[in-house]
Structure 1
Amino acid sequence: MSAVEACADGLVLRLYIQPKASRDSIVGLHGDELKVAITAPPVDGQANAHLIKFLAKQFRVAKSQVLLEKGELGRHKQIKIINPATDPDSGRGADRIRAWL
């Protein structure tokens, strides 16, 4: 399984999360996952909420269209993005992720 897979209604991302980073960014590949650095601490779901907000902004979708499918309590997560933006003006992170498809 690759880090990014297209599915019928969007994308499935396999992520490795680095909480408490100095800034939010999509770092690159980390084995067979994408490494994403986020500034939120891994306390009381703050990191998950921040990750969903960050990915929604990158893909220009509503937060409700970013679903945490697996990995609620760990660093290894599987996220589904429903109907991500496909226009050329989509977020930089989305463009980088599409390059790995």
Structure 2
Amino acid sequence: MDLNDQWACVRPSAEGVVVSIRLQPNARRSGVKGFWQQSIRIAVGAPPIEGRVNTALLSWLSTQLDVPKNEIRWVRGQHSRDKRLWLPISQRVFIERIRSLLGS
């Protein structure tokens, strides 16, 4: 997968971005693990029980991207590993921050 194809999972939207995420629950360490198909793969330590994994994902994104948790919006996937979220951040800034977390 080419670098531009990887970032196709981050699309500009009205005053923010829509991001496709493949979520890995029950991880030893939370963080960006790379790319999976047309999604960014993110791991969190919470189990997929009673919304805990979604809460952990929103908290992690809020902290790492410096975005208020209450401003992150669900587009789809609250009950799936494949999620799509809208975040109030520019595409450029989102990609820069995720790249720094990937170490590339």
CA RMSD of aligned residues (A): 2.5
Regions of 4+ moved over 2 Å:
none
C-alpha distance in structure 2 between counterparts of 1:55 and 1:94, whole Å: 11
TM-score by length of 2: 0.78
Deviation at 1:65, TM superposition (A): 1.5
Per-residue Cα deviation, 1:57-95 (whole angstroms, up to 9, x for no partner): 1110110111121001110000110136x77xx9xx824
Tell me, which stretches of 5 or more residues in structure 1 are unaligned? none
CA contact (8 A) 1:27 1:37 kept: yes
TM-score by length of 1: 0.81
Q: What percentage of aligned pairs have identical amino acids? A: 26
Equivalent residues, number: 93
C-alpha distance in structure 1 between counterparts of 2:66 and 2:43, whole Å: 19
1:23 corresponding residue in structure 2: 29
CA contact (8 A) 2:65 2:97 kept: yes
Higher helix share: 2
Pick from 39, 48, 52 the counterpart of residue 54 of structure 2: 48
Tell me, which stretches of 5 or more residues in structure 2 are unaligned? none
